[in-house]
Every structure is written in structure tokens, then in C-alpha cells.
Structure 1
Amino acid sequence: MRGRLSRKLVQTEIGILLKLRHPNIIQLREVFETDDEIQLVLELVTGGELFERIVEQGQFSEKDAAGAVKQILSALKTEYENSKLKLADFGLSKFLKNGSYTMNTLCGTVGYCAPEILLNKEYDLSVDLWSVGVVMYIMLCGYEPFWDDAGEIGMCKRVVEGEFEFSSPWWDDISDSAKDLISQLLQLEPSSRPTASEALEHPWVKGETPRCTNMANVVKRLREFNAKRKFRAATHAVLATRRAMYLISPERRLTKGLTSPQC
């Protein structure tokens, strides 16, 4: 662990994890610290990622999706009401202290980010509800609501304009109640989105209106979605590695005139 900033960030993350107590939030079991390292022992989680779990399960209905969304919302409610903390994105967390419920850090995956984050505006807890709406949308159709073949620039434009639709035939068999909740969660105006507590009271989340029919075509599309997602992640990793190797390469030092004088 090098640098006071890095250690402070890790200690902040540890403080957050120690305060969380919820069946749907990974628990921090042990912390070991030396002069050079901080080692965290987390709860063993073997279920895999959400979309992978759905594909492996094979059978999947709106009722199953509603159960997953209910667990996510329940975890968010616990974080907000009890711990007074904010999970800004997967792996990036911050405390909200002294009644201050806004941040302005740009973070997250473009397709899941609320528009106020992409516009570099201050944002609050409602950004997580937007992300829940995106996850719910993907679970029910097998593709992203703001996907654009032009890439991330096109996706950003669609997100900040709130441009998504329930296209036929992919959404024809999905209940109007599910579409209603997604539309509420993906409101451009943050104050118009429901809170986690309010969303938990929606009839679809409570299990009153979701359909029980197996969505075989959705599972098939989710399998393709997972494959593309992993390919993109692998591509980004390769590009990042190549970039890092270039930055430390002798060729770059030569172009910058930073070579050591010959002996």
C-alpha cells in the first residue's frame, strides 16, 4: 500500500463494509494490516453474476425478475436508511455525512449511469434507482435500454436524453406493470424517481402483477448479452495493457527524448 491517499481510500471502504449488515450485501469478515498491505477477508459468494445466474438457471419469468429486483431494492434501502452511505457504483462507495446527500464524482459504466452523472452534475441517492431500472430492463428483454451501435458516445446521448422504448416484439409479452416501474425508475428528473422504499411498494415488486410465464427468448438473448459483455471487457483489458506497456517502453522514452546518456 503506497501513499497516504491510497491507504485513506481503502480505510474508507473498510469503514463502509464494516457498517453494512444485510443478507444481500457482501460481509467483511476480517481485516489484516501490515506496513505495506491491507488484506480484507470477505464473505464467500459462489452464485456468480446476476445475468450469468439467470442464464444458468434456464427457466426465468417476470416473477423471478421481480424477486431479484426486490432483493436489490431491499439492500439499497438498508444502505440509505441505516448506514447513511452511498454506493455510487460497483466498487466505489462514499459516506454521506452531515445531511449532505450530493456528490459530483464521475464514475460507472456508461450504460448504467444516470444522466446527471454523465453530465458531471451533482447527484444523490436517486442515481442508484436509475441503475436498478437499467438492470430490470435488461432482465426482461436481454438487451440494454440505451444501446447504440455508434458506441459509448451514442449511448451517452441516448442516456442524457432519456431515449429508450419498449420495442415490439421483444416487449409484447411483458406486463404493463413492469413497464410502468421501469418508466418511473428511468425518469430524467432525479426527484421524479421513486425511492427504494417507494419502489418496494410497487405491485410488480410485491409480486402482485408479474407474469409467471417462462421467458425462454429472453434467456437466449441474455446469453448473447453476457458473451458480448465479456468480450468488451476483455478487449478493454487488452487495450489498457498495451497502453501501459507503451508508456513504460524504451520506444516511448526515445520519442520523448528521455533516454539516459550513453556511457
Structure 2
Amino acid sequence: MSKLPKLVEGVPSNLTENFEVMELLGEGHFAKVKKARHKASGKYVAIKFIDKRQIISDEHQLASLFSEINIMKSLKHPHIIRLLDVYETDDKLCLITELATGGELFDKIVDRGSYSERDASLLMLSLFNALRYLHSKNIAHRDLKPENILYESDAPTAAVKISDFGLSKVVDKKKMMQTCCGTPGYVAPEVLSYAGYGPEVDMWSMGVLLYVLLCGFPPFYDENDAALFAQIQSGKFEFTSPYWDTISTEAKDLISKLLVVDPKKRLTAEQAVSHPWFSVALPTHKLDAAHQKLTEARSKRRFKAAGMAVMIGSSLRPKKQ
């Protein structure tokens, strides 16, 4: 078998000299993520092993990978998973990142047993601050969803971290993004219209996330993707009784200003962190109904979804970036 060409110049190849590779944490189409221990410091990390054979002949996959690496190299924020180093072996590209051991957002909430609106507010403020940082650097994440928000550890006060920058992109202010990507339930309406879009798509996703967090089910839902997309593009949703009866007016106001079809009228991350929901006294009673709904959803894996680029029908085929 011919030797594979080097993809990244100037990076080390002696991975196993420096790291003890441990158990599998997850895997995708052409990559596996494993836990590892840095031998010199004893620090635990995550390593994403990307199979070079699977991507070497796909120029779009390569471009996406290089974009992910360059973007992650530029990021340093307490609520964003950090890229610590890059190694390359004969057949693998290895991304060394922070290890988040606390699990995915909704899994952690379900396991914790209960949470209040105040708890939700503190969580969302961390995420909006991370987005404010990303957008200030002209970076759009483009796939914000519960699976891509991780807890740093199992500690009750553990920080949340935005992860998975595989679909992220540096925004060209002179040229709008066109690629139809993301996850169906969290994708913004302008992504579906092929009219071009900007980083505002992340704010729509945050609106969906906040809605689900407070009531336990999404604002837009249908088993049929075409019907779901039609709902999203209409922008019509309700604060269904009795689930929303005890939720604050400030929370509903924030959601209503995020789930706005016109991206120019949608709140920015800068505006969101200053919203009254983050400064007023909020209810501290437990959101038991929302917790029950999330528990049911996890058992059905209702919110688990692959990237929309591989899920959408032929009528909404992804375009090039």
C-alpha cells in the first residue's frame, strides 16, 4: 500500500511517545475519539483520530478539516473546547483537545434530576457569552445543538463547553454562507431558503435550545423533514399550556426575540447577554414537567440527529460553500 501524503506540515508524529491512548469515547464516519493521558503531565485529554484514507481524496472534507483546525487554533474561551495540539501519523490526523467528562447537555440535566429556571439562565448566559466571543471573531458555529454542548466534569458547578467545530466557518462579510448544513430541529429558516446567511443562524439555534430547556420539547417538530422545515420557515410556535404557565415573561420575551425569521431582526449575541432574563430575579421552583419530557425524549433518542447535510431530502440538497 502506497504511503499517504502528509496533510499538515510541521506537526509532530510521535503521538504514542507522549500520550497513553485509552478507551473509545465516540466515533463518526471517518473519525474516532479516544481518551488519552499525557505521559509527562498526567493530564487527561481527548484525541480525535481522523482516518486519512477516508478523506484524502475528498477536497471538501479536507477543506472542512483544515478549516476546523484553523478555527479551533484561534479559540481560547472558558466555554469552548480548546484544541491543544495536532499530531500526524502515517495514516491518522490526530487532534488533541480538552477532555470534557461531564456528558452532553440534556443527558447531564436528566441525570441531575431537576433544575430551575434560574439554573437554565446561568447555563444560557455562559453559552451566549461564548457565542459573543465566536461572533466577534467572525466565526459561525453552524451546528449548535445539545449534543455539541458538553459539561467539563461531573461536578454540580462544572462549566459548559461548546464543542464540534466541524461545520464552523469564518464569515466573509462580503459573501454570505450558502451551505445547507446543521441539524433539522435546530437549523435557522434562512439556511433552508438558499438565499445566503450569516452568523445569526447560531442565535436561532440558541432560541430552540432555550425553548427545549424550559419545557422539555422543541418549538418545531414533525417526523417528516419537509413538514418540519415548513414549520421552521413559517416561524410560528406557541408557548403551550400548562408547560409554559409558570415560566417568566422575560424568558418568553428572549425566546420570541431569538426565533425571528428575519435574521436582521433577531437578537445578536451581544444583545442577548444584556437581556433582562439574565438580571431579574427568576423562579427557583424545579421545572419538573420539562425534566420529565427531557427524560422521555432521551429514552426515545428523539433529539439525537445526524448532520442535516446527510439527512435532508433531494429537494433540499446541500450546496457548496
Which has the larger share of strand? 2
Q: Which interval holds the TM-score relative to the shorter structure?
A: 0.7 to 0.9
Which has the larger share of helix? 1
**Contact 1:101–1:125 (Cα < 8 Å) also in 2:** no
Alignment of 1:84-95 (within 5 A): 84-90=138-144, 91-95=166-170
**Contact 1:28–1:43 (Cα < 8 Å) also in 2:** yes
SS of aligned partner of 1:191? helix
Residue of structure 2 equivalent to 1:259? none
Residue of structure 2 equivalent to 1:105? 179
Q: Structure 1-normalised TM-score?
A: 0.82
SS of aligned partner of 2:290? helix
In 2, Cα distance between equivalents of 1:231 and 1:140 = 15
TM-aligned CA deviation for residue 151 of structure 1: 2.2
In 2, Cα distance between equivalents of 1:161 and 1:171 = 21
Identity of aligned residues (%): 41
Which of residues 203, 225, 228 is equivalent to 1:152? Answer: 225
In 1, Cα distance between equivalents of 2:174 and 2:79 = 26
Residue of structure 1 equivalent to 2:256? 183
Residue of structure 1 equivalent to 2:41? none
**Contact 2:297–2:303 (Cα < 8 Å) also in 1:** no
Q: Structure 2-normalised TM-score?
A: 0.68
In 2, Cα distance between equivalents of 1:118 and 1:199 = 24
2:116 paired with 1:67: no
The size of the alignment, in residue pairs, is: 232
Structure 1 ranges of 4+ moved more than 6 A: none
TM-aligned CA deviation for residue 36 of structure 1: 3.5
Structure with the larger RCO, 1 or 2 (CA within 8 Å, 6+ apart)? 1
TM-aligned CA deviation for residue 28 of structure 1: 0.7
SS of aligned partner of 1:32? strand
- The CA RMSD measured in Å over matched residues stands at 2.1
SS of aligned partner of 1:123? coil
Alignment of 1:224-243 (within 5 A): 224-229=296-301, 233=305
Quickly say closer, same or farther: Cα 1:4–1:152, change in 2 above 3 A: closer
2:84 paired with 1:29: yes
Quickly say closer, same or farther: Cα 1:53–1:100, change in 2 above 3 A: farther
In 2, Cα distance between equivalents of 1:230 and 1:136 = 17
TM-aligned CA deviation for residue 125 of structure 1: 1.2
Write out per-residue CA displacement over residues 167-202 of structure 1, whole angstroms, 9 at most, x where no aligned residue. Answer: 111111111110000000001111111110100001
